[in-house]
Chains A and B, each alone.
Chain A
Amino acid sequence: MDAPFLIAAVLTLLSAIAAISLRNVVHCALCLTLTFLGLATLYLQLGAQFVGLTQIVVNVGAVAIVIVFAILLTRSSDNPGESRFNKGAIWAGLICAAVFATLVVAINTSYVSMKSGAPAPPLTVEKIGHELMGRYVLPLEAIALLLTAALIGAVIIAMKESNEKGGGQ
């Protein structure tokens, strides 16, 4: 186990736990951004440079901003006297611990090929571009359509309802 992995993994896990447990929602969003950054460094360590940089651009850049906007638009809704956890939080925690234990047991007992010392497979941006325009051109078009539809749908859903005054706005 080497030091860069350990630092990034501990940072990612701690900021993820902070993101789900802090009281202030803005702090949660900032911790989530830190988690995304830690994940990007882990992608870089795994030899997937393009994915790591995409993670920074998309998740750290765009998704975090969208989350902060949503927090600002739904402000002043939290009641400070109220608990931020559900009534069944203990059971939920137990379920999560059980899921984690099951996954760890499954990982450690299953047969997987271990190539710990293997070098990272060479994958340049040029090759990714050729693949995207060749073998993966249909999924690329499908995801372009999906993104367009999703963004138009998001705008329509979040638009103000105009049922009181009948039209306008």
Chain B
Amino acid sequence: MTLETWLVFSAALFCVGLCGALIRRNAIIVLLSIELMLNAANLNFIIFWRYGVNADAASGVMMVIFSIGIAAAEAAVGLALVIAVYRHFKTVNLDRIDSMKG
């Protein structure tokens, strides 16, 4: 297993998440795609921790632990926002939520 293989896999996962965030209309799926991108970034932290020059320190693992915590907070707030938007507009279709569009 080389470093390049891991990095290309993580880039592919990131691009799948980016694609989902750009093409879907459902707000929940967009949030879910953002989670995918965050996880690809976490995988990159672990890869560089494993193959990096200073692999003895716990820095990469610590970074990922904090990052997972922030991702959990982001998911909770984001889904609460989706619920509030749904209560107001009666839809989670992002193309129909256009009240502020001139």
Contacts and interface: CB of A to CB of B under 8 A. Distances in A.
Contacts of A35: 36, 39
A31 B73 CA distance: 21
Interface residues of A, number: 86
Nearest to A150: B73
Contacts of A77: 86, 90-93
Given A1-B1, A19-B36, A86-B22, A131 B72 contact: no
A141 B49 CA distance: 23
Nearest to A97: B15
B3 A147 contact: no
Interface residues of B, number: 73
A28 to B, nearest CB: 6
Contact of B19 (A67, A96, A153): A96
A25 to B, nearest CB: 6
B92 A54 contact: no
Contacts of A7: none
B32 to A, nearest CB: 5
A51 B73 contact: no
A64 to B, nearest CB: 10
Contacts of B3: 112-116
A32 B32 contact: yes
Contact of A46 (B14, B26, B47, B95): B47
A100 B4 CA distance: 14
Interface in A141-159: 143, 146-147, 150-151, 153-155, 157-158
Contacts of B2: 114, 116
A120 B52 CA distance: 11
Contact of A70 (B20, B25, B82): B82
In the A-B complex, the 10 residue pairs with the smallest Cβ-Cβ separation, listed nearest first, are A20-B20, A92-B22, A150-B73, A154-B80, A103-B11, A158-B80, A70-B79, A96-B19, A100-B15, A74-B86
